[in-house]
Structure 1
Amino acid sequence: MAITMTPAATKHIRQSLEGRGKGVGIRLGVRTTGCSGMAYVLEFVDAVEADDQVFDNEGVKIIVDPKSLAYIDGTELDFVREGLNEGFKFNNPNVRGECGCGESFSV
């Protein structure tokens, strides 16, 4: 089981944590929503829970709860810039379908 990050994602998360001034990493999870069923959730983490899985990439930690890990195992987190837009891209090998707007997915 693994969650990985590209160098661009690692750099962006590191800068965000430094700018925030606290936090042990970023939580990657899923929630039920949207027209396809699930959406990704990213949030800062100040404390790791006992049952969390922690994935470290060059000192940047991604924290995942066990329920979410079943849907996102093997995902690569990237940070991309396309024209004036920028944001995280989730390269999830478990995805079987996505909604037209790109906000939700199904496995």
Structure 2
Amino acid sequence: MAVTLSEAAATHVANFLQKRGKGVGLRLGVKTSGCSGMAYKLEFADAVQDEDLTFESHGVTVLVDPKSLVYLDGTELDFVKEGLNEGFKFNNPNVKDACGCGESFNV
């Protein structure tokens, strides 16, 4: 079981953490939301919680709570630039369907 970052995502996160001046890594999770049932949560973590599962990817720590790992196992978080837009993209092999707006998914 693992959650990884692409090299581009790891570089983006590491640069942001350095500019921010604090933080131990990136916390990924899921929450109930949207028309397809679940949405991703993404935030910078200042501390590791007791229940957190930690993964190291290209020198960046990824933190995931055990309940979210069921839905995120095998996911790679990428950082992509398309024209003038840039952002994180979740490559999640567990997704069976996603809503048209791209905000939510189900497994």
Q: Under TM normalisation by the shorter chain, which class is it?
A: over 0.9
Residue 48 of structure 1: aligned partner: 48
Query: Aligned to 1:100, what secondary structure does the other structure show?
Result: coil
Q: Aligned partners of 1:86, 1:58: CA distance in 2, in Å?
A: 20
After superposition, the CA RMSD in angstroms is 0.6
User: TM-score normalized by structure 2?
Assistant: 0.98
Query: Aligned to 2:44, what secondary structure does the other structure show?
Result: strand
Q: Say yes or no: does 1:32 pair with 2:15.
A: no
Code of the aligned partner of 1:57: S
Q: Aligned partners of 2:47, 2:87: CA distance in 1, in Å?
A: 25
Displacement after TM superposition at 1:37 (Å): 0.5
Show CA shifts across 1:27-57 (max 9, x none). Answer: 0000100000011111011111111100011
Mapping 1:1-107, distance limit 5 Å: 1-107=1-107
Show CA shifts across 1:32-89 (max 9, x none). Answer: 0000001111101111111110001132011000010010100001000001110000
User: TM-score normalized by structure 1?
Assistant: 0.98
Q: Aligned partners of 1:35, 1:104: CA distance in 2, in Å?
A: 7
Structure 1, unpaired ranges of 5+: none
Q: Indicate the percent of aligned positions where both proteins have the same amino acid.
A: 67
How many residue pairs get aligned? The number is 107
